[in-house]
Structure 1
Amino acid sequence: MGYRTLLAILDTPKTTRQVTDFAVALANQYQAHVIGAHAEAIAMVPIVAPMEIPDPATVQALQDMAHQETESVEKIFREIGTREGLSHEWRSFVTSSGFNSAALIDSARCSDLVIAAQGESGFLSETKAELESFLFESGRPVLIIPHVLTAPRPIRRVLIAWNGSREAARATFDALPFLKAAEEVEVFSVDPENTPTQSPETAGAEIAAALARHGIKVTVTSSQKTGLDPAMAIENRLSDSSIDLLVMGAYGNKRWWEMLFGGVTRTLLDSMTALTLLSR
């Protein structure tokens, strides 16, 4: 089992090289095909006061800039793909909906894994809401690359943020190829609840047993009554254990049309130090 079709979200020339380099590393590991996808924004129509009519020259200039960025992104992706002997293809969409382009979502739904960059100012700060919606609509796992990680490295240690939820279960099994290749996998729970199927002391034991049947070397740990919020507890664990990959669910609230990511997910993504695989 492995990831055979990777969709690389190529946002700007600055992040394209980073995302493509990681896609190449994963493609070589899993003998995968890489699709480089870029959404070229349709320029918004500026209004000229006092007559409040569109300014065609400005509109054209903005559209030309957007197209030049598309050409730069495509050039970087194709050059790396050709140089590395990568099985790859390029897809560019001109759209007013950004990542929420129906064509881009369709491409994601036919991929094993989506790869995107965090960006230097936090989790894709300029397009955060778009990617949140994209994750919800695509139904596919998304691997986020932190801006501090400038070059691919082996994924040897994996931390699964486990709370027994649907999202956590989905993320865990979406990450199976990574888990199987890792040297160490840790199932980590923060202040687990006492439920009919588990006590705080046994939280994560059943999912760990399921993973062990796949031949995965897995341990179970928890953080109980420390006074830390879950995001801080997970951040500390990432640092203390030198984690290469965090696996977690993209938690939302009951009203799905509100903000998709819950507080724990958002806090971790804005300060992420490790690769993070999210599933919804």
Structure 2
Amino acid sequence: MIKDILLPLPSYPKTASPNELRRAVDMARLLEAHLTGLVVETAVPMPVGFHPFSTELETQLKTRQSEVHTVAQAQLDAFEAEAERAGIARQGIIVKVSEGSSHPAMDYARMRDLTVVPAISDSQACIDLVQALVFESGRPVLLMPEGKQDTFSLDSVVVAWDASRASVRAIGDAMPLLRRAKDVRLVTVNKDKAMPDNATGPELAAHLARNDVKVTLEHVDRGNETVGKTLDKMAADADLLVMGAFGHSRIRDFFLGSATAHVLKNPLRPTLLSH
């Protein structure tokens, strides 16, 4: 069950778009879940090399911090307005974060069923946050990009299947969504990984059907394309992509698998990632 969702909302230098915010709220309404809007207010850093600080500089910093707080409050107000429109149970929080400190979303995510992260274009900080949440929170993460539609729907869902532990985990985490979907396509990209005989797509499709999922099975050759681009083509008209996330750790630095890196850098649709 997904009954408790976290929505971390950035305030600087970019905020979540109204489209992303509305779709996240609509998702919570669809699942009849509680939604926590966590607005992060970043502390304006002191410039290096200016010591002692002049009165004028301190005034400028206070003015800039006030502007950041105003943006954070506006983001919280936008969240509250959307949640009120949708009639969902919610909690809105502003958390102040100093430069270099860990993101507060991690602790909150570990106490929620799902974290929905608005995709901020050209933001390495957003990619780093999603990556950290996927590999360290122990919970699934749904990356919510800008979309053509203003509302979240589950008319069509694509599930990437390669018989890996991560893809099994993703399917289990997404089961409440899969059961609500009108059409679920289980997609295996051939010529990618060797599929074990005892973990075939047909067996998984039968398992999903027993769980009241309306599922069909598809195989596709990737040819000269990457797995990420192949999945993009297969999910071109999908409302949601479900996939396992892959990465290799070296002293807490993750080197992402190609398909995972592709999705994080080029999110085209809501994508649920689990590890």
* Equivalent residues of 2:20, 2:146 under 8 A apart: no
| Counterpart in the other structure of 1:92 | 94
Aligned pairs for 1:149-168 (under 5 A) are: 149-168=148-167
Is the partner of 2:252 in helix, strand or coil? coil
Gaps of 5+ in 2: none
Seen in structure 2, the aligned counterparts of structure 1 residues 61 and 77 have a Cα distance that, compared at 3 Å, is same
Which of 58, 61, 72 is 1:59 aligned to? 61
1:209-248 equivalences under 5 Å are 209-224=206-221, 226-239=223-236, 242-248=237-243
1:41 counterpart letter in structure 2: T
Residue of structure 1 aligned with 2:252, choices 245, 250, 257: 257
Shift of 1:155: 0.9
- In the other structure, the counterpart of 2:131 is 132
Q: Is the 8 A contact 1:192 1:203 kept in 2?
A: no
The percentage of aligned residue pairs carrying the same residue is 27
Corresponding residue for 1:20? 21
> Structure 1 unaligned runs (5+)?
none
1:186 aligns with 185
The one-letter code sitting in structure 1 at the alignment partner of 2:248 is N
Residues 225 and 31 of structure 1, relative CA distance in 2, 3 Å threshold: closer
1:195 deviation in Å? Answer: 5.2
Q: Which whole-Å deviations, capped at 9, do the CAs of 1:206-261 have from their partners, x for residues lacking one?
A: 3222212102122222223623221121112112xx21110011210253722353
CA distance in 2, matches of 1:144, 1:273: 10
Whether contact under 8 Å (1:158, 1:182) holds in the other structure is yes
Kindly provide the amino acid, as one letter, of the partner of residue 220 in structure 2: S
Aligned residue pairs total 269
The alpha carbon displacement at 1:106 in A equals 2.2
For 1:275 and 1:220, the matched residues in 2 are separated by 21
- Which residue identity lines up with residue 157 of structure 1 in the other structure? S
SS at 1:23 equivalent:
helix
Residue in structure 1 matched with residue 116 of structure 2 by the alignment: 115
Q: Is the 8 A contact 2:29 2:86 kept in 1?
A: no
TM-score (norm 2): 0.86
Encode CA deviations 1:103-138: one digit per residue, 9 max, x unaligned. 43222112111112112x25x444322332133222
Distance, in Å, in 2 between the alignment partners of 1:115 and 1:234 is: 21
Match of 1:197 in 2: 197
Distance in 2 (CA, whole Å) between partners of 1:221 and 1:136 is 28
Distance (Å, rounded) in 2 between the aligned partners of 1:22 and 1:225? 31
Give the match for residue 206 of structure 1: 203
Partners in 2 of 1:43 and 1:99 — Cα distance?
Answer: 13
Contact persistence 2:249–2:255 (CA under 8 A):
no
Residue 214 of structure 1 aligns with an amino acid whose one-letter code is N
